[in-house]
Amino acid sequence: MNSWMIPYILSAVSLMLLSPWLTYASVEPVAEHLQFQSDTNILTVYRHEDGVIKGCRVVNRRSKPHVTRTGEVSFNPTPVSEEFVTFMIGVCDETYPISRKHTRQKRQLIFPGTKWCGVGNIASDNNDLGTLVATDTCCREHDQCNVTLGPKEMKGGLQNNDTFSKVSCLCDVKFRECLKRAQQQGEKAAGTVGDLYFNFLKQKCIIMETPPHVCQKWLQDICIHQVPDPQKESIFRLVESNLKY
């Protein structure tokens, strides 16, 4: 058995054994809730207007096929793969563990068949790729963007409170183009990764602004040449990428 499959098998078993209802966050005001349907589960994701995920609710379709725990009726949930549901459960569990006893083994938030697509990576070195080589190559290049702000990291005056890293808008454009090529080469999973990142998670991207300028050359009392202040770091600004896959 491949090692990357273990967290996903554990997730599937937990869905069958624990309860028909799994909630990954306390109820709180959210801007929207989205529903997705796999062969066995309905996943409701609660998200703030800033795009940050605040929790999930998973319903086993065999027990309650159309109604969630709070009485919400399914509104034409989007059909998705079981891998999509399991990955999103991992995202929610990372942010809001349902309980200590159910999260003794922390899930690796890595998409099946890859070692770089997700939160962090599980590669042994830079040349180590998963079985989905083309898709994983895209994720590796994206992870190694020259402008990156990791989860909970602060840089350039910007704090990243999300589970996922933020990268420059240019790197996001290149990532989408790379995934499109991988999908055209026959790796359908590239489409799922692109759909997750751009259409569902709607990740924001970074615009880097130069730091304040200082005068390098004066002519009497007039500055005739300015340069970025070497004592100051570049300023990061988070913007909506508006990229769709």
Task: Determine the Cα–Cα distance for residues 31 and 19; give it in Å rounded to an integer.
Answer: 27
Sheet holding 78-79, edge to edge: 21-23, 53-60, 41-47, 32-37, 78-79
Catalytic residue selected from 142, 143, 162, 195: 142
172 is a catalytic site residue: yes
Domains of the chain: 1-109 (no CATH), 115-245 (1.20.90.10)
Q: Indicate which residue of 93, 136, 172, 195 is catalytic.
A: 172
Strand spans (E) along the chain: 21-23, 32-37, 41-47, 53-60, 78-79, 148-149, 154-155, 158-159, 166-167, 205-209, 213-219, 222-228, 235-239
Per-residue tens of pLDDT for the chain, all 245 residues: 544 444 444 444 444 444 444 554 444 555 577 888 888 888 888 877 666 677 788 887 766 544 444 445 456 788 888 888 888 877 777 665 543 334 434 446 788 899 999 888 999 999 999 999 999 999 999 999 999 999 889 998 899 988 789 999 999 999 999 999 999 999 999 998 998 899 888 889 999 887 778 888 888 888 888 887 877 778 899 999 889 99
Structure token pair of residue 152: 């909970």
Instruction: State residue 95's pLDDT score.
Output: 60
- Burial grade of 222 (CB within 10 A; 0-12, 13-18, 19 or more): exposed
Q: Is 134 helix (H, G, I), strand (E, B) or coil?
A: helix
Q: What is the rounded CA–CA span in Å between residue 212 and residue 112?
A: 44
Q: Which of helix, strand or coil describes residue 141?
A: helix
Maximum Cα–Cα distance across the chain: 82
Cα dihedral 28, 25, 53, 201 in deg (nearest 10): -140
Active site annotation includes 142: yes
Quote the CA–CA distance of 221 and 161 in Å, as a whole number: 45
| pTM, entire model | 0.69
Nearest CA to 83 out of 186, 163, 188, 178 is that of 188
Contact (Cβ atoms closer than 8 angstroms) between residue 143 and residue 157? no
| Sequence-distant contacts of 45-54: CB under 8 A, at least 24 apart | 45/88, 45/92, 51/162, 51/201, 51/202, 51/203, 51/204, 52/161, 52/162, 53/91, 53/92, 53/95, 53/163, 53/201, 54/25, 54/28, 54/30, 54/95, 54/96
pLDDT at 90: 78
Report the chain's terminal Cα–Cα distance, integer Å. Answer: 32
